[in-house]
Amino acid sequence: MDPLALLGRLLGRRRPPLTLKDMAERAPRLGEYFERLKGKRVLVFNPPFWGFHDIFVDREGGVLLVALKAEGDSFAFIGDERGASLMLKYGPGPVLNAEEDLAPGLLEWVLYDDFIVYRGPFFPMSRDPYHLGRVAALADFDGEAVREAVPAEITRLREWYRKRKQ
């Protein structure tokens, strides 16, 4: 048995499905992972504070993350393959309520085709050095990951999720 897994069992902690060692082994291929995600909508499950959320990677390498909240609010983050540079908060409608530029490193992500790794001081405190999302599905995306596209994507996602609930 893996010594880390054994230690984790003794301490009552499960080994994460993607470890720091796994990430280090994948690091030389990060560009390949990102290239495969260009032109894709990535449906992601977790971290718990976002639940299901969507990441759109346009063909130019722009990234848009949209997290819908049950009460009708939405958050959108726009950036590139390394992380977010802009946060947008929308109320129902969607109506833009707030906008904030994000400093580099505040909200970072690493995009794989099976997991998304999130880190930075933007996230809730945790004993773990990163938060992990699991890729639930991939679909084609022909749009752009730009500010002007966010309200339409929020509306489209709300309708998509509503249809799946029925």
Q: Helix, strand or coil for residue 157? A: helix
Query: Does residue 10 form part of some domain?
Result: no
In a domain, 72, yes or no: yes
Give the list of residues 6+ apart from residue 72 with CB closer than 8 angstroms, or none. Answer: 91, 92
> Which domain, by its residues, includes 69?
18-165
Model confidence pLDDT, tens digit, residues 58-113? 999 999 999 999 888 999 999 999 999 999 999 998 999 999 999 999 999 999 99
Please report whether residue 157 resides in a domain.
yes
When divided into structural domains, the chain yields a total of 1
Residue 69 belongs to a domain: yes
pLDDT value for 9: 55
> Rounded to whole angstroms, how far apart are CA atoms 109 and 94?
25
Confidence at residue 1, expressed as pLDDT on a 0 to 100 scale: 53
**51, 45 Cβ separation under 8 angstroms:** yes
**What pTM was computed for the model?**
0.86
Please provide the average confidence, as pLDDT, over all residues in the chain.
88
